[in-house]
Homo-oligomer: A and B are copies of this chain.
Amino acid sequence: MKQTVIIVAGGSGMRMGGDLPKQFLNICGRPVLFYTFETFMGYNAEIEFVLVLPESHIPLWAGLVSKHDFGVPHKVVAGGRTRFHSVKNGLAAIGNEGLVAIHDGVRPFVSVDTIERTFAAADLSGAAIPVLPVIESLRYSFHNETYPIDRGNMFSVQTPQVFNKALIKQAYEMSFSESFTDDATVVEKFGHAVELVEGNRENIKITTPFDIIVAEALVASGVE
């Protein structure tokens, strides 16, 4: 069955403080997004790629592809007002057969094992996401009071989030809600349960200069 990955790279990169959106920042001289593509190639060299970028960044991406001679075939789709709208645009560009992974462009270090586990679970259940137990103590702050949170059953959520294509496309026909923090919440609101599988610790979201230091160390250590 045909597998697709929609790589969502809609961020404006404001948190990094530089001029470049963070998905274009370099790890060891190459844009973060290249590593993300290559990880999915390592899982399935035949996988179909859709890259969702803010419309204004599409020429910048084309320039990088050409400059670095980046050879992975992919379709580029313009994003929307929010992540929800960007994913919806990506879904409009794919067919209805098989599974689709929706993945954060700034998570280049997802392991092939994590991708495999998530696809395998979604193949049976229709919807699966990788998670890891929360390691640090958590605290909730509300109206000037703070409360400790039991982290015992708490998980941090990663991507790729993998779904039956027909299911996720139908779910994204719903109206946008602020409660849609990721694709799993959209599918759940639509009425379909989401299965949790184990993620991997290296699967960090690159959002700060600290993360770039970590990313370069991971590439140097061969995690790529």
Contacts and interface: CB of A to CB of B under 8 A. Distances in A.
A175 interface: no
Q: Taking the full assembly, how many copies of this chain does it contain?
A: 2
Interface residues of A, number: 45
Contacts of A213: 217-218, 221, 223
A153 B147 CA distance: 10
Contacts of A156: 134, 136-139
Contact of A149 (B154, B210, B214): B154
Nearest to A142: B153
B196 A201 contact: no
Given A146-B196, A217-B216, A221-B213, A205 B136 contact: yes
A135 interface: yes
Instruction: Report whether over half of chain A's contact residues are helix, strand or loop; otherwise say mixed.
Output: mixed
Given A185-B148, A213-B217, A217-B213, A138 B158 contact: no
B139 A131 contact: yes
Interface in A149-208: 149-151, 153-158, 179, 181-182, 184-185, 188, 193-194, 196, 201-202, 205, 207-208
Contacts of A210: 201-202
Contacts of A184: 139, 148
A66 interface: no
Contacts of A134: 138, 156
Contact of A155 (B138, B185, B208): B138
A221 B213 CA distance: 8
Nearest to A216: B217
Interface of A: 131, 134-142, 145-146, 148-151, 153-158, 179, 181-182, 184-185, 188, 193-194, 196, 201-202, 205, 207-208, 210, 213-214, 216-218, 220-221, 223
